[in-house]
Structure 1
Amino acid sequence: MKSSSQPRGSDARLAGHALVEALIAQGVTDVFGVPGESYLAVLDGFHEHRDRGIRFIACRQEGGAAFMAEAQGKLTGRPGICFVTRGPGATNASIGLHTAFQDSTPMILFIGQVASDQRDREAFQELDYRQMFGPGTLGFAKWVGEVQDADRLPEYVARAFHTALQGRPGPVVLVLPEDMLTRATTAPVLPRAEPALAWPAPAALAALRERLLAARRPFVIAGGGGWTPEACAALQRFAESWRLPVGCAFRFQDLFDNRHELYAGDVGIGINPKLAARIKEADLILALGPRLGEMTTGGYTLLQAPRPAQQLVHIHAGAEELGRVYAADLLINASMACAAPALAGLAPPEREPAWADWTRQAQADYQANHEAPPVEPLDLARVIKTLDRLMPEDTIYTNGAGNYSGWLHRYHRYPALHQVGRNQLAPTSGAMGYGVPAAVAAALLEPGRWAVNIAGDGDFLMSGQELATATGYGARKLISIVVDNGTYGTIRMHQEREYPGRVSGSDLFNPDFAALARAYGWQAQRVDATAGFEPALRAALAADGPSLIHLKLDADVSTSRSTLSAIRAAARQRLGQSADE
């Protein structure tokens, strides 16, 4: 490491200290990361300003730290902050960066870099981050910047915040050469960044109203980033005044009250077949905020690309997203904080709309899909319904990727964001290992609310070491529920479909999860039958600290035996095999 330049003058300080001051000016109180020698001057800045309400939360792996920052961005609506060192630190953190990109979550990843005089020699842990994370429509970040001049550091930080928040929110990467951070600077910090909001044009709103009035089977799909509590409340007023059925895009279920009479269900993996049919039968789709990606469109089948059978009105904060996949009938570039209130102000029909029965049936289909036949010995539907009954309304639920998450999506009823704050933290990117770090971040950032993580066994072991972070920083209202069926359930399901009876590479050898949690200082219990879950949950609620509940299931439960049988039969028929082979 290069020797520090000693600050001179009353306003001079190390650039690493100025960076921390810039974060404080942006309203940042918590940052997540794994310490590295490449940004020691920044770590010293956190120490210097430790009495100004900002803390560095040291995580156990950079992927977990980046997931925590992504969850922070979802919870606060402001960029989540993550610090990692060069090379391995940056590559480990890339999973959280990719998640923030696909989830439209504001986030800034700060990466320590080799000293300037060592660049382009493949120095120790050196990487070219503009090449690695370079911006694009299919990438990791909206912008990648490298700060060469200490006096321009506040400028770069301000630009990073503006870029992360503007239009479609997303992640930004700022690269920090080690020697730059140790130079003295008198550059002042810049004001707090606020996004410039885009309002829908009056003519576009008038055209949308005409299309709605002419419709007979309209449907609203809400999703994407940039939502505020006020925008969610406005969405509800708009739906109520027009009596419109509302579905939520993949893993954005907390944008609309799932208990509301106009809610029709989530539009994602494991979609209710009746809801999928309804979307295909609709004559007008109002897509308010989502990108309309693969998961929300059922692999681009619910809405055929590039020209859907339904009329499509697409409202999105990023102009570059509009028309990218779908040739919509009406494109409106607007921020969700502006679009939803504008829609709420549209004059509704003067009499009951033609689609009133359509809307009522959509809700009835959702209610019917909430029922499930019992499964023994451990019924995941009843587990989720027990959580709904016993947990406070403002509980934050997190999950990663896997078939187990389908039970949470189908049976939990999320209140709207405007009622309790963001309460669904889940990766639309399908990143395994997300749920544990997200729950730890939620418990640390919002200690007055409960955070409940639902994790598969494979999912949990990708980031379960962050239980130590929770213990070390005093998280209390935190529960992790591990669904252990000894297999990568989603992969096994696909194997059974494509190669029936030929399971390979998807079996897991698991530890005693309860014993592992106790080693981290958590309370823990194992549950083998449905009747044992409620007592275990009540014990977790009464515990003085975080708790883990280990649910031990048969390998077939995460898909269901009947589904596996159907998958195998269909696959055998496709492969020309007899049903009894």
Structure 2
Amino acid sequence: MDCAASIGRTVGQALVDQLVIQGVRHVFCVPGESYLSVLDALRDSPITVTVCRHEGGAAMMADAVGRATGTPGVAMVTRGPGASNAMVGVHIAHEDSSPMILFVGQVDEGFRDRGAWQEMDLRASFGGVSKWVGELDDPGRVGEVMARAFSTAMSGRPGPVVVGLPRNVLAQADRSTDGHPVRPVEAGPDAAALAELQAMLAESRRPIVIVGGSRWDEASRAALHRFAERFALPVATSYRRGHLFDAWHPNYAGDLGLGASPKLVARVKAADLVLLVGGRMGQVPAQGYTLLDIPAPQTRLVHIHSDPDELGQLYQPTLAIPASPRRAAPALAALAPPAQIGWAGQAATAHADYLAWSQVATPQPGEVNLGEVMVWLRENLQPDAILCNGAGGYAAWLHRFYRFRELNSHIAPASATMGYGPPAAIAMKRLYPDRQVVSLSGDGDFLMNGQEFATQVQYGLPIVNLVVDNASYGSIRLFQEREFPGRVVATDLKNPDFAAYARAFGGFGATVERTADFAEAFRAAEASGWPAIVHIKVDVECMSPGATLSEVREKALAAR
């Protein structure tokens, strides 16, 4: 006899029903016996389940969905070891303000606090990196807990939520009432704040807009473009938020990330009005907190953020406006510009500076010039192609020479977490099967989650994975040479043949040892129709677009 049928809907089935009600289309998981009831219910649901090879990869996929859609990505893992592995994805979502929900199978309630097999205190473990940690321990509150989880993940500053699922509760009869689809509360700017901002703009002579954060959509992005055009404002994007403003737009001033253009940094420092929209202006975009004084910036700062608690937390703005980008951007676009714009021509100059900084690849030692590879991608990928990457020195060339055109064309963690590219690419290809998806990783970066290439092959996802191999943890070695020149330790790597690695999993593999061979290898990878790895071998001297490793070492030695 089917026990589940004899008791009606189980808690596990009710949970999956709530996911469907909340519009969840994808779940990323590593299966575990602690939540078999949920897995069984997913089998008969309209939700697409992607089984992953590591819980960290599953959580990163959920984060990628959350940042691309604005609605929570969902990952499911088992207790103890599974939850620990998934922590990295939760941390990314917390740092990057991405809505996601991690469901963790949990020990039976009767075994709590006995040091049971794989027992874990979820509240203690995840409390510092999530917005809420809950437990689904009452069969009468499934709808309530799920509605709270989705609402919390999307409200204010979006972020991750963790929900524990005690194994014995999941098999019990559900006694709850279904929730309704959750819609996040979207605060909008009030008329008085907009009038004050309009007056401040009219008085300004050197304004600049810095855009970042989450809660953007196509409409708000388009409104931001209109606002910039009407007011002739230069617009910079925050670290790894370049997709929020078209890089070819004549008002685009560049990326305030690692290795930012010196002219852009100088422009922000010289501004008499900084309009920060959506972002928090953390350490990286603030260039080590040197752009704006803390707590009281010397220049006038207008900070627009969806979470009122963020306003004044780090910087005391001249004008604080609690509003989500989806509400703020259209309101900004509706403002009337002054009759005479006191900063006329500055946007054009800023854009020209950006083009000069990013147009032509700088010479590099070795047979492969990574800058020229990025320029080729810039000129040959589709405008809506999605690039996913993790962390490493290679990303400096991507940020400098590639130009993001469309919303969500760049999916990468501002927390600079390694191993993000391959799993994020899976999530994007699941969401957008008709768009080009490219994963870009360093050699150490790729092997943090290279096992998810098997997931790409399992589901036949034609993703091109570019692996930049300099046989080193490059960014760490760069810092090492700056601080301890000539004393290299713990950064050399012995790497596999990544093209052979791809073929071993059933994908396509190619190796590039000269810049001139890249285009053919990339086209062959795409033409294969299979997940592919293009193994790009670069000289270890290539550590940044601006300086070789030897130059960094010599400069550090000379300074001693």
Which TM-score applies when normalising by structure 2? 0.97
Tell whether 2:532 aligns with 1:547. yes
**Counterpart code for 1:362:** A
In structure 1, the residue matched to 2:235 is 246
Structure 1 SS opposite 2:148: helix
Tell whether 2:10 aligns with 1:14. yes
Q: Distance in 1 between matches of 2:523 and 2:384?
A: 17
Spell out, residue by residue over 1:18-73, the C-alpha distance to the aligned partner (whole angstroms, 9 max, x if none): 11111111111110010001100001111233xxx212211000000001111111
In structure 1, the residue matched to 2:89 is 96
Tell whether 2:422 aligns with 1:433. no
In structure 1, the residue matched to 2:395 is 405
Q: Distance in 1 between matches of 2:332 and 2:137?
A: 45
Q: Distance in 2 between matches of 1:436 and 1:523?
A: 15
Which of 305, 311, 314 is the equivalent residue of 1:316? 305
Matched-pair contact (CA < 8 Å) for 2:72–2:99 = yes
How far does residue 8 in structure 1 lie from its aligned partner after superposition? 5.0
Q: Distance in 1 between matches of 2:451 and 2:477?
A: 25
How far does residue 368 in structure 1 lie from its aligned partner after superposition? 0.5
Q: Distance in 2 between matches of 1:301 and 1:565?
A: 28
Spell out, residue by residue over 1:506-528, the C-alpha distance to the aligned partner (whole angstroms, 9 max, x if none): 00010000000111111110000
Which consecutive segments of 4 or more residues in structure 1 shift more than 4 A?
Answer: 3-9
Which of 71, 75, 99 is the equivalent residue of 2:68? 75
Spell out, residue by residue over 1:464-487, the C-alpha distance to the aligned partner (whole angstroms, 9 max, x if none): 1001111111212x1000000000
**Counterpart code for 2:479:** H
How far does residue 4 in structure 1 lie from its aligned partner after superposition? 9.7
In structure 2, runs of 5+ residues without a counterpart are none
Q: Distance in 2 between matches of 1:74 and 1:133?
A: 20
The sequence identity of aligned pairs, in percent, is 49
Matched-pair contact (CA < 8 Å) for 1:232–1:416 = no
How far does residue 380 in structure 1 lie from its aligned partner after superposition? 0.9
Matched-pair contact (CA < 8 Å) for 2:15–2:142 = yes
Give matches, 1:63-462, under 5 Å. Answer: 63-134=56-127, 139-351=128-340, 353-370=341-358, 371-375=360-364, 376-417=366-407, 422-462=408-448
**Counterpart code for 1:523:** F
Structure 2 SS opposite 1:511: coil
How far does residue 162 in structure 1 lie from its aligned partner after superposition? 0.7
Spell out, residue by residue over 1:318-363, the C-alpha distance to the aligned partner (whole angstroms, 9 max, x if none): 1111111111111111111101011011111223x11123222111
Change (3 A) 1:175 1:5: farther
Tell whether 2:31 aligns with 1:35. yes
How far does residue 571 in structure 1 lie from its aligned partner after superposition? 2.3
Matched-pair contact (CA < 8 Å) for 1:258–1:413 = yes
**Counterpart code for 1:19:** L
**Counterpart code for 1:29:** R
**Counterpart code for 1:556:** E
Q: Distance in 2 between matches of 1:455 and 1:558?
A: 14
In structure 1, runs of 5+ residues without a counterpart are 576-581
Greater alpha carbon shift after TM alignment, 435-444 vs 460-469:
435-444
In structure 1, the residue matched to 2:470 is 485
**Counterpart code for 1:385:** V
Structure 2 SS opposite 1:41: helix
Structure 2 SS opposite 1:231: helix
In structure 2, the residue matched to 1:58 is 51
Matched-pair contact (CA < 8 Å) for 1:109–1:171 = yes
Q: Distance in 2 between matches of 1:442 and 1:503?
A: 37
Which of 485, 495, 502 is the equivalent residue of 1:500? 485
**Counterpart code for 1:391:** L
Structure 2 SS opposite 1:199: coil
Matched-pair contact (CA < 8 Å) for 2:542–2:549 = no
Greater alpha carbon shift after TM alignment, 90-99 vs 302-311:
302-311
Structure 1 SS opposite 2:540: coil
Spell out, residue by residue over 1:124-145, the C-alpha distance to the aligned partner (whole angstroms, 9 max, x if none): 11111111111xxxx3111111
How far does residue 444 in structure 1 lie from its aligned partner after superposition? 1.9
Matched-pair contact (CA < 8 Å) for 2:389–2:439 = yes
Matched-pair contact (CA < 8 Å) for 2:134–2:164 = yes
In structure 2, the residue matched to 1:472 is 458
**Counterpart code for 2:541:** D
**Counterpart code for 1:15:** V
Spell out, residue by residue over 1:150-169, the C-alpha distance to the aligned partner (whole angstroms, 9 max, x if none): 12011101111111111111
Q: Distance in 1 between matches of 2:76 and 2:520?
A: 40
Matched-pair contact (CA < 8 Å) for 1:5–1:182 = no
Q: Distance in 2 between matches of 1:553 and 1:570?
A: 23
Matched-pair contact (CA < 8 Å) for 1:8–1:184 = no
Change (3 A) 1:561 1:509: farther
**Counterpart code for 1:359:** A
Q: Distance in 1 between matches of 2:385 and 2:198?
A: 37
How far does residue 574 in structure 1 lie from its aligned partner after superposition? 4.0
Structure 2 SS opposite 1:392: coil
Matched-pair contact (CA < 8 Å) for 1:5–1:14 = no
